[in-house]
């Protein structure tokens, strides 16, 4: 009964045991109440959004969420990018995430889109800059870092003047990223890739590849690109 109710409210499937009640209250029921209040304050229909404690929001009205989205506690989420932030159905962003839409009063970033069923582990750092697009069904471990801009030298040759270049980052569908992966501006990771833990990705990785190292290099093929994308990957959910 409880599992069916959770499925209706959030679209998430869980196998619930007799000893799970306390965990469900602290990790599910309380975040649901926070998500309900947040949705009401933003004049939105609640779609099963779950929120952890002490989230710091910047321009939260520009953050669009699908059904069953979960954002962990103690996160910083800045929606001031030009295209805001779009989190499709059942996206999970774990605790202590830091998502920046702009730095001070300089030009705002482009935007962040995360596809359905994707999971971002705790302590993620996502500096939007250029556009960031993370596909559907992506699994990223703890400590993911994405930097979608790069400092460039000014006319005097200084890298500390604040001059930046922005190309953006794109991660394909069904990718698996280990703990502490760092991805730099201009990188595109194709569908169905595996990126090993502690890798620094400085150049694009073709679809269906396993890559790891500093800098990350393709080691072998793991699969051929395949299968339909989970969810609707083209049309973001609106308020």
Instruction: Identify the structural domains of the chain with CATH numbers, from first to last.
Output: 2-12+22-221 (2.160.10.10)
17 vs 61, residue with greater confidence: 61
Mean predicted confidence (pLDDT) in 159-169: 75
Asked if 190 and 182 count as a contact pair (C-beta separation under 8 A), the reply is no
pLDDT band at 10 (very low <50, low <70, confident <90, very high): low
Determine the straight-line distance between the first and last CA of the chain, rounded to whole angstroms.
30
207, two tokens = 């679809």
Smallest CA-to-CA distance from 178 within 192, 194, 193, 189 is with 194
Q: Is the peptide bond before 58 cis (omega within 30 degrees of 0)?
A: no
Residue carrying structure tokens 């890298």: 159
Smallest CA-to-CA distance from 173 within 92, 231, 235 is with 231
- pTM comes to 0.81
Strand partners, 77: 57, 99
Q: What is the pLDDT of residue 63?
A: 95
Mean predicted confidence (pLDDT) in 187-199: 97
Strands 63-65 and 119-120: what pairing?
Answer: unpaired
Residue carrying structure tokens 């679809």: 207
| φ, ψ of residue 188 in degrees (nearest 5) | -125, 125
Smallest CA-to-CA distance from 126 within 138, 137, 136, 112 is with 112
At 195-226, the pLDDT tens digits run 999 999 999 999 999 999 999 999 999 866 55
Residue carrying structure tokens 């400092």: 151
At 27-61, the pLDDT tens digits run 667 888 999 999 998 888 898 899 999 999 999 99
In eight-state DSSP terms, residue 104 is T
- Please determine, for residue 232, whether its predicted confidence score (pLDDT) is greater than 50: no
Most confident of 103-117, 164-178, 198-212: 198-212
> Hey, how many other C-beta atoms are within 10 angstroms of the C-beta on 170?
20
């Amino acid at each position: 009964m409880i599992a069916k109710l959770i499925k209706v409210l959030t679209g998430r499937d869980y196998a619930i045991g007799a000893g799970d009640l306390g965990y469900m209250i602290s990790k599910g029921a309380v975040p649901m109440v926070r998500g309900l209040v947040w949705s009401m304050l933003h004049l939105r229909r609640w779609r099963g959004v779950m929120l952890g404690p002490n989230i710091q929001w910047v321009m939260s009205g520009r953050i669009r969420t699908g059904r069953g989205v979960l954002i962990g506690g103690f996160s910083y989420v800045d929606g001031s990018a030009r295209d805001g932030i779009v989190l499709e159905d059942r996206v999970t962003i774990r605790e202590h995430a830091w998502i920046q839409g702009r730095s001070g009063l300089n030009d705002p970033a482009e935007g962040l889109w995360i596809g359905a069923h994707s999971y971002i582990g705790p302590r993620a750092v996502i500096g939007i800059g250029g556009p960031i697009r993370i596909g559907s069904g992506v699994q990223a471990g703890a400590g993911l870092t994405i930097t979608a801009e790069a400092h460039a030298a000014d006319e005097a040759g200084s890298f500390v003047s604040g001059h930046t270049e922005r190309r953006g980052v794109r991660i394909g569908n069904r990718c698996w990223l280990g703990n502490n992966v760092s991805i730099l501006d201009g990188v595109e990771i194709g569908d169905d890739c595996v990126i090993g833990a502690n890798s620094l990705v400085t150049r694009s990785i073709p679809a269906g590849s396993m890559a790891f190292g500093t800098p990350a290099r393709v080691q072998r093929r793991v699969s051929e690109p395949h299968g339909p994308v989970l969810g609707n990957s083209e049309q973001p959910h609106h308020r």
